[in-house]
C-alpha cells in the first residue's frame, strides 16, 4: 500500500506519539490518514480517514468517539499529495478557528 502511494507522488509520514505531540498544526478532519487496524485476531486491514469518515473496502462509516477501542490502530500515516494544494477551500467551516482551518491543513505535513 505505501509503496503504491509513494510511486504515485504521495508523501507518507508515519505518525508517532512524538511527532503528533510536537506538531505545530494539529491533526484534524481535513487531514487524510491511512491506518492499519487489527480487525480480528492476527488480521489487520487498511482504512482511510477523512472528514470524520472512515473508508474501508468500498464502504464508508461515520467515526464515533470509541471507534478505535474495539479495532485498535497498529500503524497510522499522514498522507499528502502536491495536487491537493490546488483545491483549497475558500470558506471556514462552522466551529473551526483560524488555527485549524482547512487552508492550514492542506499544506505539506510536518517532515518525516
For the chain, what are the domain ranges?
Answer: 2-105
Quick check: 74 and 44 in contact, CB under 8 A? yes
The DSSP call for residue 69 is T
105 or 70: which leads in pLDDT: 70
pLDDT for residue 50: 92
Cβ-contact 12, 6 below 8 angstroms: yes
Q: What is the pTM of this model?
A: 0.71
For the segment 72-89, the average pLDDT, to the nearest whole number, is 79
CA angle 50, 77, 13 (to 5 degrees): 120
pLDDT reading at 58 higher than 70: yes
Average pLDDT of the chain is: 79
Strands (E), 1-112: 11-14, 32-40, 43-50, 53-56, 59-62, 73-80
Percent of the chain at pLDDT > 90 equals 27
Cell of 60: 464508508
111 is written with which cell numbers? 517532515
Q: What are phi and psi of 18, to 5 degrees?
A: -65, -50
Mean pLDDT score, 5-34: 88
Query: What was the pLDDT predicted at 71?
Result: 86
Amino acid at each position: 500500500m505505501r509503496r503504491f502511494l509513494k510511486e504515485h507522488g504521495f508523501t507518507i509520514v508515519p505518525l508517532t506519539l512524538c511527532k503528533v505531540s510536537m506538531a505545530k498544526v494539529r491533526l484534524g478532519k481535513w487531514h487524510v490518514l491511512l491506518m492499519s487496524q487489527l480487525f480480528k485476531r492476527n488480521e489487520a486491514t487498511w482504512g482511510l480517514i477523512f472528514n470524520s469518515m472512515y473508508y474501508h473496502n468500498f464502504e464508508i462509516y461515520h467515526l464515533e468517539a470509541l471507534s478505535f477501542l474495539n479495532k485498535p490502530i497498529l500503524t497510522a500515516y499522514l498522507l499528502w499529495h502536491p495536487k491537493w494544494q490546488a483545491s483549497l477551500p475558500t470558506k471556514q467551516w462552522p466551529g473551526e478557528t483560524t488555527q485549524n482551518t482547512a487552508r492550514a491543513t492542506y499544506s505539506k505535513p510536518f517532515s518525516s
